[in-house]
Amino acid sequence: MKKNIVVIEGDGIGPEVIKQSIKVLNSIGNRFVHEFSYQNVLAGAKAIETLGSPMPKETIDSCLKSDAVLFGSIGDPKYDYYPRGMRPEDGLLKLRKKMNLYCNIRPIVTYPGIPQSPIKKLEGVNFVIYRELTGGIYFGKKGRSKNGKEAYDYCVYSKKEIERIGEMSFKAARSRNRKMTLVDKANVLETSRLWREVIQKMALDYSDVNLEFLYIDNAAMQIIINPTKFDVILTDNMFGDILSDEASILTGSLGLLPSASIGNKKSLFEPIHGSYPQAKGKNIANPLGSILSVSMMLEYFEMHQEKNLLEEAVKSSIQEKICTPDIILDDRNYSSTEEVGDYIEKYIKNH
């Protein structure tokens, strides 16, 4: 099978983790006789410096023509105070909108052998967050008063936006443990009330799925207190962003979490971590979130055997303690970014 993949390394540790992901993907290609071709394009800080835009039109055009996009990370402190629309993060929001990547999927899975949550010992955590990605407060009208003393961010959702991710979430719940939790703030927010109305009506067509509702503040507590109660969490853009980052503490490291952003025709795959500029160039960044994002890409391509082998390799690397310092707490015995990628590459080749 041939697949054309657009690669956006991005900022900070992005190029380092993407390098390992490409190495692993090539190993999968060699093992299963697939042909993966890559087109590298610019986004983020490097694109601002080179082309004057955090998300150039050439990059968007290439992404729209690809079979999938593999994304590293985005963000640079140098641009934190640039005007709206010219920050690296603005470029990613623009790409999500242009590609219509409305459904962000973030699995939260704990692995044996990792010093997991600092809150308590956890076992058997396995749930997935379905986050609406192209609507809500992140994309609503923003501005300030003329005197600069007032600011506003509008949160807007339509029935159609809720229905399309609701359908994907219900189907995911049906394929898992038939349980779904809608997280909102319906006691305060009108948009959350619309979410409840739409999802409750949709639930009539998914009577085999147990649907429950939690306010965002309660959900944030329950994820820490009793994370095994969750299976599929459905929520809006901002709440999903916050909850998935919070949930990373359950796994032991933000560097372990992958994600898929699914659209009507195109999809993008990226680790949920940021650009982590403090680690840039030090060969200590955890590549597993990016590598597991490749696993989600393989599932998207319906390469199920390939996906299973890659995930087996990741589990083996953790069991054998071939891990970066965010997981291995002993300063002397951790593996580098490159060594983790090498181990997974060889595992795929030899198993």
Is 245 a known active-site residue? yes
Catalytic residue (one of 138, 334, 343, 347): 138
Is 241 a known active-site residue? yes
Neighbours of 75 (CB within 10 A): 21
Cα–Cα distance between 25 and 310 in angstroms, integer? 9
Give me the phi and psi of 244, to 5 degrees please.
Answer: -70, -35
Catalytic residue (one of 94, 185, 315, 321): 185
Catalytic residue (one of 67, 78, 94, 245): 245
Is 185 a known active-site residue? yes
Neighbours of 178 (CB within 10 A): 15
Q: Indicate if the alpha-carbon torsion angle 259, 13, 245, 348 is positive or negative.
A: positive
Cα–Cα distance between 134 and 104 in angstroms, integer? 9
Cα–Cα distance between 9 and 74 in angstroms, integer? 8
CA 84 to centroid of chain Cα atoms: 23
Is 3 a known active-site residue? no
Q: Where are the alpha helices (DSSP H) in 33-158?
A: 45-51, 57-65, 88-98
Which amino acid does the sequence have at 279? A
Cα–Cα distance between 189 and 237 in angstroms, integer? 14
Catalytic residue (one of 184, 236, 241, 326): 241
Q: Where are the alpha helices (DSSP H) in the chain?
A: 14-32, 45-51, 57-65, 88-98, 159-175, 190-203, 216-225, 237-251, 288-300, 304-319, 337-350
Q: 142 CB contacts (<8 Å, ≥6 apart)?
A: 84, 151, 152, 153, 154
Catalytic residues: 138, 185, 217, 241, 245
